[in-house]
Structure 1
Amino acid sequence: MIYLDLLIGFLEVGLFSFGGAYAAIPLIRDVVLAHGWMDDEMISYMIAVSESTPGPIMVNLATYIGSNKGGLLGAVIATTAVVLPAFFIILIILGLAKNLLKNSYAQAILTGLKSCVIGVILATGAYMILGNCGVTSENGIDITAILITCGLAIVYYGMRKVRKNGISPIGLICIAAVVGVAVYGI
């Protein structure tokens, strides 16, 4: 039964997640919570780990959750299910792309989807900042987490002023990891 649940759950994620992984995070969270595979805190940790490891976030999350709930077969099923819809959609779009992109209705739909995706990504970012930076922690407001987040934002935008390309995401992840271990691990 778990294999069927993984297949259907991650097919749903793969089929309805427009705009990439960050736009898919709320959908993944809903599917995982609905099936009771993880609690909200564990999902947040897995999102952070998936962002830090090579590969697409959706694939990393699907592989981990599938492996956690159904072993190797569960990982294969969940990963395949999350990737399969995009694979077929791309094949169909490539076949129709020449004529479709010239159509004014298709352009209007894509413009509308772009606005929607931006809103979903901003809402996900706000949820993660407020929910995981200690603003809504069980012990009240965690000022340290808020200061670390602000400090990382200052480093990111400050480096963009100093250097043309700014700091790489890998560099920012490394800085965040060191600061997190220094502040919370020691």
Structure 2
Amino acid sequence: MIYFLLFWEFCKVGLFCVGGGYASMPLIQASVVDHYHWLSMSEFVDIFTISQMTPGPIGINAATFAGTKIAGLGGAVSATLGFVTPSFFLGIILARVYLKYGDIGSIRGALNGLRPAVVALICVASLSFILLAVWNTETLPTDWSTFSLGGIAILILAIAATRRKIGVIKVLIGSGVLGLALGLAGLI
């Protein structure tokens, strides 16, 4: 039963997560954290973080890791298949429609209208993680080191975005190494 439920919930997420993996995070959170309570918010943040660090699409990675945490290997398969099934069929259908009807203005308008919603979904996911880091003192540290590391990462990413001399991968690796060093030193 849990496998079918995982498939169905991630199928709904896959169907409605217009805009990619980051846009799917609030939908996954609503399902596995808020509705079913399969994962705590702290576990979800860990899954989100690992999903970003591993190769592949973040939404599929998150579905696989969440499914594994919830129901083992069978849960991973169920959640992953549920997540990709709608995209697979919608992709085939939309490709056929696009090839048949070409560039239709109303379709372009609908897609342009979805862009602000995608940005809003990503912002909601980011806000949820920020609020968790700031106010949930039971699961995450909220001392100076948390804010310092976050601030340094934001600063480096802002510089990287404007000058393009520092790659995102370098920032991720550097943040991980710095966090490990501070953790081993007992500072975080």
What TM bracket, shorter-length normalisation? 0.7 to 0.9
For 1:149 and 1:78, the matched residues in 2 are separated by 31
Q: Counterpart in 2 of 1:6?
A: 6
Q: Counterpart in 2 of 1:166?
A: 165
Query: What secondary structure is seen at the aligned counterpart in 1 of 2:47?
Result: helix
- Runs (4 or more) in structure 1 with deviation over 3 Å come to 98-101
Deviation at 1:141, TM superposition (A): 4.8
State the TM-score, normalized to the length of structure 1. Answer: 0.88
Partners of 2:26 and 2:124 within 8 A in 1? no
Q: Which stretches in structure 2 are left out of the alignment for 5+ residues? A: none
Which piece of structure 1 moves more, 36-45 or 99-108?
99-108
Q: 2:159 is matched by which residue type in structure 1?
A: G
For 2:37 and 2:61, the matched residues in 1 are separated by 19
Q: Counterpart in 1 of 2:51?
A: 50
For 1:131 and 1:100, the matched residues in 2 are separated by 46
Partners of 1:100 and 1:106 within 8 A in 2? no
Q: Counterpart in 2 of 1:124?
A: 125
Which piece of structure 1 moves more, 151-160 or 79-88?
151-160
Q: Which stretches in structure 1 are left out of the alignment for 5+ residues? A: none
Deviation at 1:101, TM superposition (A): 5.6
1:52-85 Cα offsets, whole Å, 9 max, x none, are 1111122112212222333322221211110111
State the TM-score, normalized to the length of structure 2. Answer: 0.87
Partners of 1:157 and 1:166 within 8 A in 2? no
1:104-149 Cα offsets, whole Å, 9 max, x none, are 22222111101111122122223222322xx213279533211211
Q: Relative contact order: is structure 1 or structure 2 higher (C-alpha 8 Å, sep ≥ 6)? A: 2
For 1:24 and 1:89, the matched residues in 2 are separated by 16
Q: 2:29 is matched by which residue type in structure 1?
A: R
Identity of aligned residues (%): 30
